[in-house]
Structure formats: C-alpha cells, structure tokens
Amino acid sequence: MITSGDAQPRIEAYLGRLQQRLRGMNDDDVREIVEEMRSHLTDKAAAGGELTAAGIDAAIAALGTPEELASQYVTDDLLARAEVSRSPLRILESLFRWASLSVAGFFVLMSTLLGYFLGTTLALSALLKTIHPHTAGLWVIPDGAGDYDLSLRLGFGSVPVGGRELLGWWIVPAGLFVGCGLVVLTTRFALWSVRQYRKSRALPQG
C-alpha cells in the first residue's frame, strides 16, 4: 500500500506530464498507459520494501522523461498500425502527435504533408481534366514581371490570361500515375523516418 505522503505527488506529477504528451491518442489507450505506468512506478519504487522518495526518483529516471516515453509510444503505435493499414490519414494523425513531441517528428510531418499535398493535387487535376477539359491541367502562365509560373490547375475558374497548357490530355495518365506514386512514396518515406528514429532511440540509457 502507498503510505508515504511525499511519494504519490511525485508519481502523479510524472503521470500528468505523460498524459499531456500522449494527448491525441485514443482516450482508452492513454488511460491504460497512464494506469500501467502508475502501477509500474508504485511496484518498482516499493521493490526494496519501503516506498521512499529516492526509490521513486530512481524508478522515474529508469522510465525516461515523459516526452521520451510518449515519443516511443506514439511512434511504436504508428508502426504497429501501419502494418495493419497504410491509410495516409492514419499516418498523418500519428505524425501530428509525434511532431508535437520532437523536432525530428516536426520535419517528418512537414515533408509528409508536402508529399501528400502534391500527390493529391496531381491526381485531382488529372481527374478534373475530364470535367474541365479547357482549364484543368499543367499550365505555364506569365507572371507579369517577364517570368513564367508553372501552375497545376484544377480547372475551376476561367482560362488564365496568356497561359499555355503543357500536357494536354496526357495529364490524365501522367497525373494519376505520378500523383498516386508520390502518395505511396511519401507513405514509405514517413514509415522509414519513423523506423530510423526508433533505431536512433535504441541507445543505452544512463
């Protein structure tokens, strides 16, 4: 039984921070993790018989900081779920969580967002070409300052002034192929980055 008046607040402070870092994960999962860590810390700290402040500090130190522990859970969770489903939405959801926990996660999230955005825009403009044959596709448009902008257009709105379309109907197969390919490659990149991160975190502690 926990009796030491000083012990419980330390554990609760750690768990409170952990819970905050896990926010965004499924509520039931977060509750389980926090409960399990409470149980672990209490058992571990009392392993010597008496529950002491030093024992609690050692038990907490052995688990790592709440940020590190949460990062491990979030990335492990992502990898496990990716083995079941490679849905970009699922992956992005986990990456958002990871990005709030580490700099590496932030950069991976940004690159992944960019990849998915380009991929979907390409595929969309290919699909919309069949509905907006005169305006959708890949265009070169003068920017007024003597230069030209490359523009991927979905075809809403009018024909751009002075613009020239590049691919014509080729945008349909090319856009679909490259767009879908980009989405698949981006997913692979995201999972690869997470695995690299996991490997780098496998260094010995303390």
Partner 1 sequence: MKARAASGQEAGDKWEVQLRKGCLELAILAALWDGKLYGLEILQRLERDSDLVISEGTVYPLLSRLKVLGLVRSEWVESDAGHPRKYYALTPAGRQRGREMAAMWTRFSSSMDRLLAPLAKGK
Q: Which residues of this chain interact with partner 1, rule CB under 8 A?
A: 1-2, 29, 32-33, 35-40, 42-44, 46, 62-65, 67-69, 72-73, 76-77, 79-81, 83-84, 199, 201-206
Q: What angle do CA 1, 4, 42 make, to 5 degrees?
A: 50
- For partner 1, give the closer residue by CB, 62 or 114: 62
- For partner 1, give the closer residue by CB, 63 or 180: 63
Shortest Å distance, C-beta 186 to partner 1 = 23
Phi/psi-derived region of residue 106, left when phi > 0, alpha when psi is between -120 and 50, beta in every other case: alpha
Q: Dihedral of the CA atoms 36, 41, 47, 53 (nearest 10)?
A: -160
Q: What's the CA gap between 159 and 140, in Å, rounded?
A: 12
- For partner 1, give the closer residue by CB, 12 or 36: 36
Helices (H), 100-166: 103-129
Q: What's the CA gap between 62 and 53, in Å, rounded?
A: 14
Helix (H, G, I), strand (E, B) or coil at 149: strand
* Residue 34 tokens, joined: 């926090």
Shortest Å distance, C-beta 92 to partner 1 = 18
Shortest Å distance, C-beta 88 to partner 1 = 19
- For partner 1, give the closer residue by CB, 130 or 205: 205
- For partner 1, give the closer residue by CB, 25 or 136: 25
Shortest Å distance, C-beta 116 to partner 1 = 23
CB atoms within 10 A of CB 172: 18
Helix (H, G, I), strand (E, B) or coil at 145: coil
Shortest Å distance, C-beta 91 to partner 1 = 15
